[in-house]
Amino acid sequence: MNNLLWLIPVLPFAGFLILALAGKHLSRVWVALIGAGSVSLSAIIVPIIGIGFLSHPPATGNYSQTLWTWMQVGDFNPKITLFLDALSLVFVFVITFIGALIHIYSAGFMASDKDYSRFFACMNLFVFSMLLLVLADNLLLLYLGWEGVGLCSYLLIGFWYENPVNGYAARKAFIITRIGDTAMAIGLFVIFYQFGTLAIPDILTKAPVLWHQGASIATITALLLLAGGVGKSAQLPLQTWLPDAMAGPSPVSALIHAATMVTAGVYLISRMHIIFQLSPIAQMIVAVIGAATLFIAGFSALTQYDIKRVLAYSTISQIGYMFLALGVGAWAAAIFHFMIHAFFKALLFLAAGAVIEALHHEHNIFKMGGLKNKLPVIFWTFLIGSASLAALPLISAGFYSKDQILWYAWAAEGGNPLLWFIGLLGAFITAVYTTRMMILVFWGEAKTEIGHRPGKLMTVPLIVLAFFSLFAGFIELPHNFGHFRLFSDLLQQVLPETILKAGMNTELQFQILALLSTLGGIYLAYVFYYKQPQRIEKLKQSRFVMNLYLFWFSGWGFDKLYNTLIVKPIVFMANVNKNDVVDKLYQGVTFITIRLYQSLSFTQSGSLRWYIMGLVIGAIIILSMQIML
């Protein structure tokens, strides 16, 4: 069965080719069938291969399939090789499964859009690139997928291209991630000269042999790769593009900017985990970046009024949790949170998209309200998604994944109380802003009339995702809670087990604290936004609170900072030098030539007597020189 592996990425690619070349001539039904069908077929093949792979695991624990040699120059011979192990299996499963659901949803959501086939072509290309990214056997092929998803993200953020704001958001996303990618490319150069190869399995086996623990070259390499991950995963300091990326259609935000592409950084770090393990400093930096991001983004999410921007900041914040987990060495926990997050965040975005469409493209949560009874399916699925995001104890999947990370943030070898505390604070904030969003959208009185109700194509994926957001958490239960470890056992083949500090075996009090912080957050939002909304008004009168609010609202001023420090000087320089200062040099040469010729031509007066005068004076000078010398 394994040799069908190539079909998984090729099917969406074929879909892309058909739609790109012949999309104009196909009817909408065929476009939807090809677009959603190709990804769904991949999603069907994945479990087949997955079951085969798990029931008869290869001796090496992985399976690779070489399609052709990309190029061969001297020792440099990257191949087009697909590589499947437990880690990539999890990612492939999430990408194809959620991808297929979102494609089906899009068939309904985009039904009235004039560029139906372009949308599906780009989506298919995205799924293809993302699959290539996680299935790549060498870093160059991974880089192909990496840039490919960037391109698709650009194309889809700017999907409604008539509005220049969307184009700006798209370019911002591409260029900021490109900064990270550039650092990553330099990382690839370093890796190639250190190991003589870019093949990931070879690098991972050679690294511990060639580098000793804590080597500075390991730190440099790890940091360069991290820069790539930070850009793609919208972590500090390159997080500013993701909130703007919400300009794209909601299914795009769900698939690319929540479930899959933005977690590419998580994939990269866990894929190259051996290099990170060799450098405790780099790993510490990963954890600190994660903690700082989840903290900053959480507060920003609290202040947004655009429903998609709330979700965008919450995505940044949740990926921060994954980075925190990676940084403290809780590899499996990070991947587990990735999977659960993909389910509930895709659900939230899709449900938000349905709400926005129902309310005539209204994004402002303060203009929504009272939708609880009007859109029951959306309400219940959104509620489940929110519960999972807020990590509602015991019943939601988000609780199990986030609780694990919080526990490891203290208890794992790389963890410390400060990281744990920030994580706990983040969980509290998450509960606050999730509840705030929930209350403002679904409770209270209706402020906008409902236009268009979602059809079956849109509600079925929501229900499926809601099911997973509730129950997917049960495949991995805490130590003191049945200790059921299906997921981490699976990843054990690839990722090292999380090592706990000595004497850390009482998880219970941490769970209670996490539980309290979540419930506290929910209660706080309940009080402020439902029970006594006048308290908010009171708070707004304080100048300090208002300034803080605006500061958080603008994403802690990062956009402004980058604009004044980097963007404006470069644009200014470029515009000042529009006519090329070097050309002035050559214009100077022509100027001098013209001046010289003008001054010499002055002597050519045309007056014959001046010429004779010159002749005579010249003769006299020569003669007198003859006599004198």
* Using rule CB under 8 A, residue 167 touches another protein: yes
Using the rule CB under 8 A, is 232 a contact of another protein? no
Stretch that binds another protein, among 104-112, 202-210, 497-505, 576-584 (CB under 8 A): 576-584
Would you say 174 or 407 has its CB closer to another protein?
Answer: 174
Which residues neighbour 239 within 8 Å (Cβ) at sequence distance 6 or greater? 293, 296, 297, 316, 555, 558
Q: Is 25 in the site for another protein (CB under 8 A)?
A: no
Query: Is residue 113 a contact partner of residue 28, using CB atoms and an 8 Å limit?
Result: no
Q: Indicate the residue among 133 and 440 with the shorter CB distance to another protein.
A: 133
Contact segment (CB under 8 A) with another protein among 105-113, 185-193, 272-280, 481-489 equals: 185-193
In the bound state with another protein, the residue whose beta carbon lies nearer, of 108 and 229, is 229
Distance (Å, rounded) from C-alpha 104 to C-alpha 58? 34
Query: H or E segment at 320?
Result: helix 307-328
Residues 366, 312: Cα–Cα separation, whole Å: 17
CA-to-CA distance for 135 and 64, rounded, in angstroms? 9
Q: Please report how close the Cβ of residue 55 comes to another protein at its closest, in angstroms.
A: 34
Residues between 187 and 216 with contacts to another protein, criterion CB under 8 A: 188-190, 192-193
Minimum CB distance to another protein smaller for 545 or for 571 = 571
Taking contact as CB under 8 A, which single stretch among the options 25-33, 42-50, 152-160, 483-491 is the one that binds another protein? Answer: 152-160
Output the furthest CA–CA distance in the chain (Å, rounded). 123
User: What are the helix and strand counts (H, E) for the chain?
Assistant: 27, 2
Adjacent-strand bridge partners of 64 = 83
Query: Are 218 and 282 in contact, with CB atoms under 8 Å apart?
Result: yes
Alpha-carbon distances of 341 from 101, 418, 448, 481, rounded to whole Å: 15, 24, 30, 21
Judged by CB under 8 A, the stretch of 142-150, 275-283, 359-367, 557-565 that binds another protein is 142-150
- What is the closest distance, in whole angstroms, from the C-beta atom of residue 442 to another protein in the complex? 36
* Cα 235 to chain centroid, rounded: 8
Neighbours of 583 (CB within 10 A): 9
- When asked if residue 161 is in the footprint of another protein (CB under 8 A), the reply is yes
Binding another protein (rule: CB under 8 A), the pick from 24, 535, 568, 595 is 24
Q: Is 627 in the site for another protein (CB under 8 A)?
A: no
Query: What residue type is 167 in one-letter code?
Result: G
User: Considering only residues 29, 59, 209, 585, which one is a binding residue for another protein as defined by CB under 8 A?
Assistant: 585
Show Cβ contacts of residue 224 under 8 Å, excluding neighbours closer than 6 positions.
183, 184, 186, 187, 190
Q: What are phi and psi of 271, to 5 degrees?
A: -65, -40
Beta carbon nearer to another protein, 4 or 571: 571
Question: Residues 59, 502, 573, 628: which binds another protein (CB under 8 A)?
Answer: 573
Shortest Cβ 224–another protein spacing (Å): 10
The one among 456, 534, 602, 628 contacting another protein by CB under 8 A: 602
Contact status, residue 251 vs residue 105, Cβ threshold 8 Å: yes
Piece in contact with another protein (CB under 8 A), picked from 173-181, 250-258, 391-399, 532-540: 173-181
Q: Which of 29, 606, 627, 628 binds another protein (CB under 8 A)?
A: 606
State the nearest-atom distance from the C-beta of 426 to another protein, in Å.
Answer: 31
Q: Does 175 bind another protein (CB under 8 A)?
A: yes
CA separation for the pair 205, 274 (Å, rounded): 9
CB of 33 vs another protein, minimal distance in Å: 21
Q: Does the footprint of another protein cover residue 595 (CB under 8 A)?
A: no
Instruction: Confirm or reject binding of residue 599 to another protein (CB under 8 A).
Output: no
Neighbours of 400 (CB within 10 A): 25
Q: Which is nearer to another protein, 417 or 606 (CB)?
A: 606
In the bound complex, what is the minimum distance in angstroms from residue 177's beta carbon to another protein? 9
Tokens of 317: 């914040």
Could you say which of 25, 578, 625, 626 contacts another protein (CB under 8 A)?
578
**Sequence-ordered strand ranges (E) for 16-172:** 63-69, 79-84
Of the two residues 3 and 607, which places its CB atom closer to another protein in the complex? 607
Q: Which segments within 17-132 are labelled E, that is strand?
A: 63-69, 79-84
Phi-psi region of 609 (alpha: psi -120 to 50; beta: other; left: phi over 0): alpha
Taking the alpha carbons at both ends of the chain, their separation in whole angstroms is 107
Nearest approach, Cβ of residue 569 and another protein (Å): 11
The correct pick among 27, 72, 112, 505 for binding another protein (CB under 8 A) is 72
| Residue 20 contacts another protein per CB under 8 A | yes
Q: Is 616 in the site for another protein (CB under 8 A)?
A: yes
Kindly give, in sequence order, each residue whose CB lies less than 8 Å from that of residue 223, ignoring residues fewer than 6 positions away: 282, 285
Stretch that binds another protein, among 294-302, 306-314, 348-356, 605-613 (CB under 8 A): 605-613
Q: Judged by CB under 8 A, does residue 158 bind another protein? A: yes
CB of 363 to another protein, least distance (A): 21
Region near another protein per CB under 8 A, out of 4-12, 95-103, 168-176, 549-557: 168-176
Q: Kindly give, in sequence order, each residue whose CB lies less than 8 Å from that of residue 306, ignoring residues fewer than 6 positions away.
A: 246, 363, 364, 365
State how far Cα 42 lies from the chain centre: 23
Residue 75: CB minimum distance to another protein, A: 9
Q: Which of 28, 178, 206, 447: binder of another protein (CB under 8 A)?
A: 178
10 Å Cβ neighbour count for 478? 18
Binding residue (CB under 8 A) for another protein from 455, 586, 591, 596: 586
Q: What is the DSSP string of 476-530?
A: B--TTTT--BHHHHHHHTTSPPPPBPTT----HHHHHHHHHHHHHHHHHHHIIII
Check residue 179 for interaction with another protein (CB under 8 A): yes
Contact of 458 with 109, CB cutoff 8 Å: yes
How far apart (Å, rounded) are the C-alpha atoms in residues 342 and 352? 15
Residue 609 touches another protein, criterion: CB under 8 A: yes
Q: What residues line the site for another protein (CB under 8 A)?
A: 20, 24, 68-74, 76, 80, 118, 140, 143-144, 146-148, 151, 154-155, 158, 161-164, 167, 170-171, 174-175, 178-179, 181-182, 185-186, 188-190, 192-193, 570-571, 573-575, 577-578, 580, 582-583, 585-586, 601-602, 604-609, 612-613, 616
